[in-house]
């Protein structure tokens, strides 16, 4: 199965990503733990694409592609921004960053997904969740 959604970079469109994940959860009868991990990680990635990647520009789209194989559920999130250096992300757990209102999304993705990869200068993030 290969499924995708596309939507303009408006914060209210996060609900489209939530419904997309809910539909996948129902179709594949996901347990509550993996569902929760997927929901939070994908919403963080979509939020980053809208906010940081596309800078809330509704003329730019966010695309989410879902694939499933025998071992993994894989989500790829694409934005149309200028990209970023995914190797140089500040650690949100160190004291000088604790009060920062931003900077936890990638940290959460890396802790909730089994694998996180960035491509195309950070404009594409791939999150893999192992089927148990």
Instruction: Output the pLDDT for position 40.
Output: 97
Average pLDDT over residues 113-123: 97
Residue 100: burial class (beta carbons within 10 Å; 0-12, 13-18, 19+): exposed
Distance CA 132, CA 126 (A): 19
pLDDT above 90: residue 126:
yes
Q: Say how far apart CA 47 and CA 51 lie, in whole Å.
A: 6
Which range among 25-29, 33-37, 61-65, 84-88 shows the weakest confidence by mean pLDDT? 84-88
Structural domain tally of the chain? Answer: 1
**3 vs 25: CA distance, rounded Å:** 13
Residue 102 has pLDDT above 90, yes or no: no
CATH number at residue 27: 3.30.565.10
Give residue 132's pLDDT: 79
13, 18, 22, 27 alpha-carbon torsion, rounded to 10°: 60
What is residue 112's predicted lDDT score, i.e. its pLDDT?
97
* Residue whose tokens read 């303009």: 8
pLDDT higher than 60, residue 43:
yes
What is the extent of the structural domain holding 47?
Answer: 2-130
**pLDDT, mean of residues 47-67:** 97
- pLDDT at residue 92 in the model: 60
Is the pLDDT reported for residue 68 higher than 90? yes
pLDDT band at residue 31, thresholds of 50, 70 and 90?
very high
């Amino acid at each position: 199965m290969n499924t995708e959604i596309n939507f303009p970079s408006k914060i209210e469109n996060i609900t489209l990503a939530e419904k997309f994940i809910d539909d996948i959860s129902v179709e594949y009868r996901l347990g509550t733990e993996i569902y929760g991990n997927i929901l939070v990680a994908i919403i963080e990635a979509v939020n980053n694409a809208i906010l940081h990647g596309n800078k809330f520009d509704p003329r730019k789209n966010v695309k989410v592609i879902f694939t499933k194989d025998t071992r993994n559920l894989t989500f790829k999130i694409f934005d149309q921004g200028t990209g970023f250096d995914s190797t140089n992300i500040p650690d949100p757990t160190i004291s000088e960053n604790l009060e920062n209102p931003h900077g936890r999304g990638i940290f959460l993705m890396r802790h909730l997904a089994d694998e996180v990869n960035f491509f195309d200068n950070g404009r594409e993030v791939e999150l893999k969740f192992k089927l148990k």
